[in-house]
Structure 1
Amino acid sequence: MSPSSHTSRTPLRSPRPPSAAKAASGSAAAGAASPSLGRGLILLMALAAGLSAAGNYFAQPLLDLITRDLHIGVTMAGLIVSTAQAGYALGLILLVPLGDITERRRLAVGLFAATALFLLLAAAAPSGPILLAGTALVALTSVGAQVVVPFAATLAAPEARGRIVGIVMSGVLLGGLLGRTAAGALSELGGWRTVYWVNALLMITMAVLLHLKLPRLSPAAGAAPVSYGGLIRSTLALLRQEPLLRSRAAIGAFSMASYSVQLTALTFLLTQRPYGWTAAGIGFFGLLGVIGVVGMNFAARLGDRGHVQAVSGAAGVLLTLAWLPLLAGETSLWWLATGVIVLNIAQQAGLNSSQNVIYALNPDARNRINSAFMTLFFAGGAAGASLTAVVWARAGWPGVCALGAALAAVSTALWVLERVRERVRAR
């Protein structure tokens, strides 16, 4: 059964035949795609999304420097990482749905400007609690990246949607990876605060460019007025109405939890023997994850050709198996690098395949669909980061690897259950 067969009507739409709605939204998307979505704009959206997402990852290679400079413990340092994930999840559910009822360019630009302001707060933080507050606010508004992604999906022609979303989401991935690298490198030049100052300037620049280059994109014609509370309720209602959205959100949550285990624990591993690396070294090691971009774009092309489910299944299996070389990586840099590469390819390919499925469900509710999916996705990441701090303290790297593998195995099992349910429903 195709994803589009589960399209539901949302409370924000005036009743009209589903075929007419689909034709209208399809023609609008196609009409916007040709004059408005050139290569330059796609790359700008990818760059903007990457810079927006980067702020949530700056602290990871800097935890040791931050703990010493602000005189905080390891527990609070771990909270900085989990707070970024939790704040992002909160922004996804509270702010991203606004893209279905407001002019999207204005929303994106406003979120980028707010992120720049809160980055300045984090950069000037005199204590751990203030840094936590700044981190939470940066994460809350950096969901501007998740307004840009469905923006691109709406402008793209249907037959190229997977590829376009893959390019913009590659920007988000690179933002996280290069953000960690830049944080480590800049900390060598001017301390851990430097990267926050620099990114604040870049975010202001992106806000100006997006205002100048993005087309105006208002809610679909015929959308009825709705309160903010009604908007949030309709977002949550989509999880009840769309079985595939529920399934993909659960798969995404467990896969991101597994991925987040690696992101959080890797810093602790590389700062101790036999590695003993600096923050800059840890940041550059994270560049291995750039290979995940290859996996995401390859998955996007396969998805556009009708192989979404094969990509999803293969990604889940690889995500689970990646923890075997990671386990051996406790004392071997070669195995550690192999595990990181496989994990990144699997995670990004799985994410793109899930987005390909959910963006086909209801074109007029893409921001709310993206909100529901990404909220659970990053909530899973926050849970994974929090569990990692506890498991690391009690069981070290082997315990962390067991946790990551178990979470990945659950995500794979959920995909199998989804396929079984869809086949039964199709019969």
Structure 2
Amino acid sequence: MQEDTKNPQLTSTILWLMAVLSGLVVANNYYNQPLLGLIAADFEVSESSVSKIAVLTQIGYACGLLFIVPLGDKLWRKRLILTDLALVILALLFMAFAQQLNGLFIASFLIGVTSVIPQLFVPMAAELSSPEKKSVNIGMVMSGLLIGILLSRFFSGVVGELWGWRTMFEIAAGMMIIAWLLVYLYLPDLRPNFEGSYGSLMQSVWQLAKTQPVLQLASFRGAMGFGAMSAVFTTLVFHMEGEPFHAGSSIVGGFGLIGAVGALAAAFVGRLAQRFTRYQLIYYALLILLLSWVFIYFGGYSYWGLIIGIILIDLGLQSSHIMNQSDFFALPINATNRLNTVYMVSYFIGGSLGTYLGAICWQYAGWAGVCFVGTLFSVLAFVAHVLLGRRSVASL
């Protein structure tokens, strides 16, 4: 490893590498969603029981964000990423060979904890970018991450239907071995910018969360937006198993391909930063997120309604997500990993809450209950931005 590298250059090759690897690693968190029906049938348990797999993965991811990502400011980045990738491989193999439902729960949590490497790449791209390129480069890495999330559902749905759900996690472990080799061979290193103890590092994370209004608002918007999307994607497989669709896991996973349209469009939102303020871009992104629920609810029993709704929900969420990160990375604070930790922990706590409430409302109120949860979360994000967005910009 090149520990003497002081100022590595963010070449297009490195940027593409971070984007592709972000998609491959983050996908580990989402392979389970189209497979929940297959897992429930295999273990002969209810759908609500196996939905804990998705919840625990997201909770695990939030824990990894909180306890691992801040180390990007304290340790050499490349060594941290290689160590974490080795742990990801072990967690995926545990998932593939677990014979008890509780084993799946533990493995899912560990997959979430260790699959946080993309959130080391995003601050890395921000640190190595010039101010005028920051939003564009963040958007590039985020586009890889988001496409990985969306394509993972399609890929796992097809693999699960053809070869069984365990095969998907065996394939994922193989892809992580390739990712480890690519990081070892090509990724540059970044010098740490924090010299204190781990305890003081974590204390500084809490201090940033308490004292930075821009970060607080971005974290709330992100949490509510991701909670809205998680509610629909976690329950979509159950919704489409029934009338009028009677669809299998591969069809449900195909909605990941549809959502990729929105994610790809969102990747270009950074290019609009020269024409619109961040406040305006987030405002319109959250409006699109709200609009998506009109189609998901009223057209929720037709393919056309779900297709339009899924495209819009991904476009709105991912556009606001990229601009949220651009918002707090603009703060004059040399703590990019810790800032991103606060934001992403909030983001995935929101996702876990959306998954949990979506599953409960599905059980008691069906698709209408899921849409209520998603709409409520979207409204909360929009109202918070309208009431507090301009004030947080003024505090910069």
The two structures share one fold, judged by TM-score above 0.5: yes
Contact preservation (8 Å) 1:317, 1:409: no
Per-residue deviation, residues 246-302 of structure 1 (Å, max 9, x unmatched):
111011111111111111121111111100111111111221110122332221111
For 2:159, the aligned partner's letter is L
Question: Residue 24 of structure 1 aligns with which residue?
Answer: none
Per-residue deviation, residues 360-396 of structure 1 (Å, max 9, x unmatched):
1145200000000000001000000000111011111
Are 1:115 and 2:83 matched, yes or no? no
- 1:424 is displaced (CA, Å) by 7.3
Q: Secondary structure at the match of 2:165?
A: coil
Q: Secondary structure at the match of 1:322?
A: helix
Per-residue deviation, residues 283-331 of structure 1 (Å, max 9, x unmatched):
1122111012233222111135553111100111111121011012332
Are 1:410 and 2:380 matched, yes or no? yes
- 1:214 is displaced (CA, Å) by 1.2
Are 1:129 and 2:89 matched, yes or no? no
Contact preservation (8 Å) 1:51, 1:175: yes
Residues 352 and 59 of structure 1: is their aligned pair in 2 closer, same or farther, counting only changes over 3 Å?
same
Contact preservation (8 Å) 2:215, 2:339: yes
Identity rate, percent: 35
Distance 1:266 1:278 in 2: 11
Q: Secondary structure at the match of 2:34?
A: helix
Q: 1:155 aligns with which of 94, 104, 128?
A: 128
Question: Residue 371 of structure 1 aligns with which residue?
Answer: 341
For 1:397, the aligned partner's letter is W
- 1:346 is displaced (CA, Å) by 0.3
Are 1:176 and 2:149 matched, yes or no? yes
Are 1:259 and 2:229 matched, yes or no? yes
Residues 423 and 158 of structure 1: is their aligned pair in 2 closer, same or farther, counting only changes over 3 Å?
closer
Contact preservation (8 Å) 2:147, 2:264: no
Are 1:288 and 2:245 matched, yes or no? no
Q: Following superposition of structure 1 onto structure 2, how do residues 292-307 of structure 1 map, counting pairs within 5 Å? A: 292-303=262-273, 307=277
Structure 2 unaligned spans of 5+: none
Q: Secondary structure at the match of 1:364?
A: coil
Q: Secondary structure at the match of 2:36?
A: helix
Contact preservation (8 Å) 2:265, 2:315: yes
Work out the number of aligned pairs and report it: 392
- 1:157 is displaced (CA, Å) by 2.1
Distance 1:73 1:323 in 2: 27
Between 192-201 and 151-160, the greater mean CA deviation after superposition: 151-160
Contact preservation (8 Å) 1:160, 1:304: no
Are 1:202 and 2:172 matched, yes or no? no
Q: 2:35 aligns with which of 56, 62, 73?
A: 62
Q: Secondary structure at the match of 2:173?
A: helix
TM-score, structure 1 length as denominator? Answer: 0.88
Q: 1:231 aligns with which of 195, 201, 220?
A: 201
Residues 94 and 425 of structure 1: is their aligned pair in 2 closer, same or farther, counting only changes over 3 Å?
closer
Q: 1:419 aligns with which of 380, 385, 389?
A: 389
Q: Secondary structure at the match of 1:58?
A: coil
Distance 1:358 1:417 in 2: 18
The runs of 4+ residues in structure 1 deviating greater than 3 Å are 422-426
Distance 1:347 1:300 in 2: 14
For 1:181, the aligned partner's letter is F
Residues 178 and 294 of structure 1: is their aligned pair in 2 closer, same or farther, counting only changes over 3 Å?
closer
- 1:188 is displaced (CA, Å) by 2.7
Q: 2:49 aligns with which of 56, 64, 76?
A: 76
Contact preservation (8 Å) 1:147, 1:367: yes
Contact preservation (8 Å) 1:105, 1:215: yes
Q: Secondary structure at the match of 2:245?
A: coil
Aligned-residue CA RMSD (Å): 1.7
Contact preservation (8 Å) 2:213, 2:392: no
- When Rg is computed on C-alpha atoms for both structures, the one with the higher figure is 1
Q: 2:287 aligns with which of 304, 317, 321?
A: 317
Per-residue deviation, residues 335-374 of structure 1 (Å, max 9, x unmatched):
1111111111000000011011111114520000000000
Residues 424 and 368 of structure 1: is their aligned pair in 2 closer, same or farther, counting only changes over 3 Å?
closer
Between 133-142 and 210-219, the greater mean CA deviation after superposition: 210-219
Structure 1 unaligned spans of 5+: 1-27
- 1:148 is displaced (CA, Å) by 1.4
Question: Residue 356 of structure 1 aligns with which residue?
Answer: 326
TM-score, structure 2 length as denominator? Answer: 0.95
Q: 1:331 aligns with which of 301, 304, 318?
A: 301
Q: Secondary structure at the match of 2:132?
A: helix
